[in-house]
Amino acid sequence: MSKILTIGANGQIGRLFCQKAKDAELPIRAMVRNDEQRARFEAQGIEAVVGDLEGDFFHAFDGCDRVVFTAGSGGSTGGDKTLLVDLYGAIRAISESEARDVDHFVMVSALRAEQPLEAAPAMRHYMVAKLLADQRLLESDVPATILRPGRLTDEAGSGRVRTSLAAGEGFDVSRENVAGCILEALRQPSTANRVVDLLDGNTPIEGAFAEG
């Protein structure tokens, strides 16, 4: 059975998604940075492979027909890592997905990525990286869902979101809700590209994606 490759599996959203996918009995493979992380996933019964977004990782695609990209360089790194991981790492993953005829690519991006100059100055390089990666994905031959979450929180997932700023108040979305949306996106037909804003709201995740 073909698997779902999760790039960035050891990140906060990635770990939540992998657990949800395992609970849903979906065939997943977690891509992690080192053997210690791999052992931790395998101890949870989740297949894992070591790959480096700044180096060699194409072997991780073997036997996978869907890809989730939720990797990020992290807030404590500089613009060089943002460029190499969030932008170039994503572009390389998209190119490999094209070469392997991947059926569906789910990208975790950022709210308002299409307007990087409206972000706080310290965040503009990150938003540019997200914008360019999103554009590369939409221009590719790979069916794609791009999720653009707002300000991430560690609140327990409510299972309810909204996909429009105008439909409610606030800019927050829990990481657990984002993980649930990744799972639901993978359950939906992948014949058309979709870009979905994500914020905490009142619509059940299943309903939000059905409407989308």
Catalytic residue IDs: 126
Burial class of residue 32 (count of CB atoms within 10 Å of its CB; 0-12, 13-18, 19+): buried
- Structural contact between residues 173 and 161, judged by C-beta atoms closer than 8 angstroms: yes
Q: How far apart are CA 210 and CA 208, in angstroms?
A: 5
Between vectors from CA 90 to CA 106 and to CA 18, what angle results, nearest 5°?
Answer: 45
Instruction: Give the H/E segment covering residue 134.
Output: helix 124-139
Q: Pairing relation of β-strands 160-162 and 194-200?
A: antiparallel
Q: How far apart are the C-alpha atoms of 15 and 21, rounded to whole Å?
A: 10
126 with 84: CB under 8 angstroms? no
Q: Where are the beta strands (DSSP E) in the chain?
A: 3-7, 28-32, 47-50, 64-69, 104-108, 144-149, 151-153, 160-162, 172-174, 194-200, 203-204
